[in-house]
Structure 1
């Protein structure tokens, strides 16, 4: 019964779908025919399925609401991406979160946000109550255009679309370019919400092993040949979760492979402001021909002021603007005006310089504190908040996460980031969230 419910919740069986015959189901599941008869009868009584005498059993009613949890294998549910996100977002005061993906609130640009709010409160009433334009607040798009140029990405304001967040930016791109069943390449490991979002779009995700210099090019070429993907989604600057940086040589070869296979690349640049030295941007090398760059400011400025962007070729931006209207109408004018004011606040640059210095100091401290526990970084990232670390003795990070959660510490086990489930003994640490000595005390107690 649970197997059938799970397949319906995951939309593998939709309304009107015919279930396997009693005998086929019994053989498939390795149970007796009478067990399947009993299960089917109970599901009929619940109204989940219906019986057509002589024709078999069929899924009843309208399609069940999509359950992303049911799409994933049950064995991974306790530590899957949605579980980690919900544990972090719903954490009670006092919970320690070395596995979360954002800075502590005390590290954010609170003073600049307050100044921006005061400025807007004295401004025109339309700034506070009206819808935004389809492309978004022009002043912010001009600011973004100048910022992108510092990374070699030429994108006039007309080629930039503001979104409600970086996640919405990827969602809109997927709506534009994907059909259910299309294949999308992602890094293995990669930011775990990519997995959840692609499941929501009924896309098939295929992982490509990630190295300290970028994706494994042989594996990337093989995936292009074997799966004919539509998209490749990646981070180029500071990779999540590894902290690695794409090398120029890998970037050039990657773009050659993408061009030959006619695949679109979505480059997530959310950690740009955490770099000490700018990394290569695929969008810069490509000129936004087949690369779409997205980003947001929730990690550096404020997670409460939700605003992201898409930089792409003009015809795609036009179609994306239509999709934005269809799915969120006018967009968040207030958020974009707050960000425009904060980004042009002279103290933001100094604020981020201080954040980068604090992160560099925190990375070294956390590496030193983890060493006596036998936890070692996969590599030493040049910038950013993440350390991708291996546990001693090939321990199961999911078991460790469950044990630590009992003591009020939220971890991010490696297999939540890995499609191939090959990161069983890895954890992602956020060094900015490891200030409390209890993090290491709990780890030492449960290891």
Structure 2
């Protein structure tokens, strides 16, 4: 927080800043019509201003019709909402590192850039020779494979292969319950179109995968978050959110959670399922990292049998992000309706892509490839943890596998500032607040351990943290509050 300024102009600026903050939360669909605003004292503390400044800001917002007072209760968002702008999914001051910016920078920066903040494995870890073999195999198929639309539910051989792999890990699924999609992201988008309407409440973790937030805002959902712990969501807060907000969906990663790397415990998985039944909650399990688990964690779909749980899968992390292919495993009576919706929005998938994916994942070498990925990730994790600790970053949790480490910066460093400085040096970082609906992860960074072996990285991170620390000291920024308590280490 900047040092106190008492000039009248400063108060005007702070009043405007509070008003902008309220407008941004409303524009991002985080605060829907009827949402109660923070109390005067709470907003003053959050924004680092006086209570009188918040009073003035709220009075102006009442005057222009943005909010309305309710005697004895507080202030509430008025309606209707303005048209959605994805450019406003985050506070304006953080625009340069909002979720969509992080995705664009990771995708658009050249091969020479360092990308410890990206969400995929290095190219030389991928089974490129198996893909080339599958391409040669596809070239010998009938011409219709190269020219026609795919079937509405997807290539039958691929759906069967997916069902067999799910069954092998203890989740029996009929191929008729599998809908092939163009990606895991498209699968979640279809579910949002199918299951929610504007204003419906959806529950997410805090932190969570940043594109969950972007997609839900695009669908004009009311998003509520629950703090995430090393064994799953905070169950007291989860229960409170269900009782208070009556959400339609809960979207999460059960295994190797993004961004924390944590995994859901069996105890909490059963609690979630019990609460879902009691509160008529649908559970969307984004399961794209399960192949990296050294041992299977508690998967909601396995425990539920696809009754109240919908599972999302993808091959972008294990096979190729260029071959866009994902799937939904869903209750049988929803498959046709979802296929109709997919046809209405994208008409069809690609036979060629589905044929290549099907050929690769049915090859006898595929299990060996997955085993090698697990081994390489374990080795990368064993190198990354001591490296980051040596640099002063502390993992919030050291996961048993996977690619992600959720780390706290030392001292008063701000991950947003660090990410902005890093971009100037060709370094893509993933600052904590893009994953946090509450924006309480200022001190956190997500690291991808598979992208951290470049020898330039330690020196560059050290230089950037020194620069960010000097800038924070110069600006008089106070130390940020911690996102969540670190587990004790013996």
TM-score (norm 2): 0.79
Map of 2:155 onto structure 1: 137
User: Is 1:302 matched with 2:327?
Assistant: no
Map of 2:5 onto structure 1: none
Measured after TM superposition, the shift of residue 85 of structure 1 is 0.4
- Matching of residues 18-417 of structure 1 within 5 Å: 66-417=84-435
CA separation of 1:10/1:361 partners in 2, compared to 1, >3 Å: closer, same or farther? Answer: same
- CA distance in 1 between counterparts of 2:229 and 2:111 reads 37
Measured after TM superposition, the shift of residue 10 of structure 1 is 4.9
3-state DSSP class of the match of 2:204? strand
- CA distance in 1 between counterparts of 2:161 and 2:191 reads 22
- CA distance in 2 between counterparts of 1:200 and 1:98 reads 27
CA deviation profile, 1:357-403 (whole Å, cap 9, x unmatched): 11111111111111221101111110101111111114211111111
Measured after TM superposition, the shift of residue 73 of structure 1 is 2.0
- CA distance in 2 between counterparts of 1:275 and 1:340 reads 22
Deviates more, 1:274-283 or 1:185-194: 274-283
- CA distance in 2 between counterparts of 1:405 and 1:438 reads 15
Residue ranges of structure 2 left out of the alignment (5+ in a row)? 1-15, 30-55, 65-79, 466-490
Deviates more, 1:272-281 or 1:294-303: 272-281
Map of 1:50 onto structure 2: none
Once superposed, what is the RMSD of the aligned Cα atoms?
2.2
Consecutive aligned runs of 4 or more in structure 1 exceeding 4 Å deviation = 9-12, 26-31
- CA distance in 1 between counterparts of 2:107 and 2:393 reads 26
2:89/2:214 contact within 8 Å kept:
no
1:151/1:281 contact within 8 Å kept:
no
- CA distance in 2 between counterparts of 1:108 and 1:341 reads 15
Aligned length: 402
- CA distance in 2 between counterparts of 1:176 and 1:185 reads 16
Measured after TM superposition, the shift of residue 292 of structure 1 is 0.3
- CA distance in 1 between counterparts of 2:376 and 2:349 reads 34
Residue ranges of structure 1 left out of the alignment (5+ in a row)? 13-25, 37-58
CA deviation profile, 1:293-327 (whole Å, cap 9, x unmatched): 01100011000000110011112111101101101
- CA distance in 1 between counterparts of 2:109 and 2:260 reads 24
- CA distance in 1 between counterparts of 2:57 and 2:242 reads 36
Measured after TM superposition, the shift of residue 11 of structure 1 is 9.1
Measured after TM superposition, the shift of residue 30 of structure 1 is 5.8
3-state DSSP class of the match of 1:392? coil
1:307/1:332 contact within 8 Å kept:
no
